[in-house]
Amino acid sequence: MPRIAGGTFLITGGASLVGSYIADALLAQGAKEIRLLDTLALGSTEMVGHLLNDTRVKLIRGDVTQLDDVVNAATGADGVFALAAFLTISMAQNPALGVTINNMGIVNTVEACRIAKVKRIIFASSVGAYGLPTADVITEETPFTSAGASPAFVLYSASKLTGEALCAHYQKAHGVEFNALRISSVYGARQHNRAVNANFILQVHDRIRRGEAPVILGDGKEVHDYIYVSDVADAAAIAMSSPSHGHVLNIATGIDTNLTRVTEIVLEVCNARHLKPLYRADDRAVKASTVTHLNFSRAKAEKTIGWTPKISIEDGLRRTIAWRDSRGKS
Ligand SMILES: NC(=O)c1ccc[n+]([C@@H]2O[C@H](COP(=O)([O-])OP(=O)(O)OC[C@H]3O[C@@H](n4cnc5c(N)ncnc54)[C@H](O)[C@@H]3O)[C@@H](O)[C@H]2O)c1
């Protein structure tokens, strides 16, 4: 298994929210070299600006749909974090490109790992791999449910199931070790506007800091498992260096938080409890999961790789809002 200290790692889609935090975690643990492969189509140098003065970090302009780009970037790496992808909103805007990037990107990434003899790949999968599940507790055994899911969400989710299967195949056929992380709704400082569920946080905060009442679409009972981005990065680093591999793992807090509660916390953090939420009809064009019960089990991640999340939703929202406020009102 790759050791983080002294190791060389490639992060595809590295100029991303999650990628920037994985790079932070690897550097803090003494990695020798971090390569961030990105087209910068969605991510930006601003996301990783704080890293670029570190001589251990190399930003490589390259495209995961081009096998040569991934092979060149992966050569000499001990491990690869496969993040390059379109999320559901981007998938809805350009499905042809999204399907190509998400599917060919992971095809090329596992193939590059085989060619370059990379020891392990950590695949950024998603709890989207469950679709709209109805189980009481969602474990890694819970099947995908497509009924009622929006087409763009299904395209995104299917690409994550494809990626997991490719990783499992390459481990079995070629000995490239993997762990695939079914990550829940990520949010945090450096938050972008490409994730449906985190966008709700941004929209609520934007209205509150303009002195306007926050708007909740629907009855406020829709829940998400919001996970702070540094907890995801910790999980990725642990999954890379753990003796245990070959797993699909829920990387979620296990806590459902509904839209009304998120709004209450943001109001508290902003000292704006006098603003009363307005409930309006849900007219979002693009939706991901819209259920009122999730209950993701994180027992397998705890048992196999010893990961547990550390940041509560209250603390995470405080950090996110502090970061947004530090950049001024936009
Ligand atoms: N944000 C979430 O809530 C969430 C939840 C579950 C899983 N994930 C997964 O985690 C990963 C990172 O998510 P994020 O929120 O940090 O996303 P992000 O949009 O910030 O990052 C995606 C990155 O991929 C890059 N990219 C796009 N096309 C590329 C290409 N052809 N070649 C190379 N790079 C390319 C983009 O420029 C961007 O920097 C994704 O795979 C996503 O599916 C995210």
What average pLDDT does the chain have? 95
pLDDT number for residue 281: 85
Mean pLDDT over residues 101-107, rounded? 98
pLDDT number for residue 63: 98
What residue type is 14 in one-letter code?
Answer: G
pLDDT number for residue 327: 86
Q: Which of 124, 19, 10, 4 is nearest to 71 (CA)?
A: 10
pLDDT single digits (tens) 281-314: 887 776 666 788 999 999 999 999 999 999 999 9
Weakest-pLDDT range from 12-26, 119-133, 166-180, 183-197: 183-197
Region of 30 (left: φ > 0; alpha: ψ -120 to 50; beta: rest) is left
CA 4 to CA 34: how far, in whole Å? 11
Residue 16 Cβ inside 6 Å of ligand 1? The answer reads yes
pLDDT number for residue 209: 95
- For a pocket test of ligand 1, which of 11, 12, 16, 59 has the largest count of ligand atoms closer than 8 A to its C-beta? 16
pLDDT number for residue 46: 80
Q: How many CB atoms lie within 10 A of CB 30?
A: 12
Q: Which of 174, 227, 162 is nearest to 17 (CA)?
A: 227
CA 287 to CA 262: how far, in whole Å? 18
The C-alpha angle 175, 176, 178, rounded to 5 degrees, equals 125
pLDDT number for residue 287: 67
pLDDT single digits (tens) 208-227: 999 999 999 899 999 999 99
Residue 235 Cβ inside 6 Å of ligand 1? The answer reads no
Task: Find how far residue 153's CA is from the centre of its chain.
Answer: 15
Q: How many CB atoms lie within 10 A of CB 244?
A: 15
Identify any residues that bridge with 124 across adjacent strands, giving them in sequence order.
181
Residue 82 Cα to ligand 1 middle (Å): 9
Residue 103 Cβ inside 6 Å of ligand 1? The answer reads no
pLDDT number for residue 174: 98
Residue 15 Cβ inside 6 Å of ligand 1? The answer reads yes
Q: Give the ligand 1 atom nearest the CA of 160.
A: 43
Mean pLDDT over residues 103-110, rounded? 98
Mean pLDDT over residues 171-182, rounded? 98
Mean pLDDT over residues 233-240, rounded? 98
pLDDT number for residue 47: 83
Reported pTM = 0.96
pLDDT number for residue 40: 93
pLDDT number for residue 329: 61
CA 173 to CA 73: how far, in whole Å? 23
On the 0-12 / 13-18 / 19+ scale of CB atoms within 10 A, 296 is: buried
Residue 26 Cα to ligand 1 middle (Å): 18
pLDDT single digits (tens) 42-84: 877 888 889 999 999 999 999 999 999 999 999 999 999 999 9
In contact, 128 and 196? CB cutoff 8 Å: no
Residue 205: pLDDT band by 50, 70, 90 thresholds? Answer: very high
Phi, psi of 15 (to 5 degrees): -85, 40
The owner of tokens 């490719």 is 166
In contact, 313 and 257? CB cutoff 8 Å: yes
- 244 vs 236, 248, 298, 305, CA distance in Å? 13, 11, 16, 6
The token pair at 313 is 């939703």
Pairing of strands 8-12, 33-38: parallel
The owner of tokens 């939706």 is 287
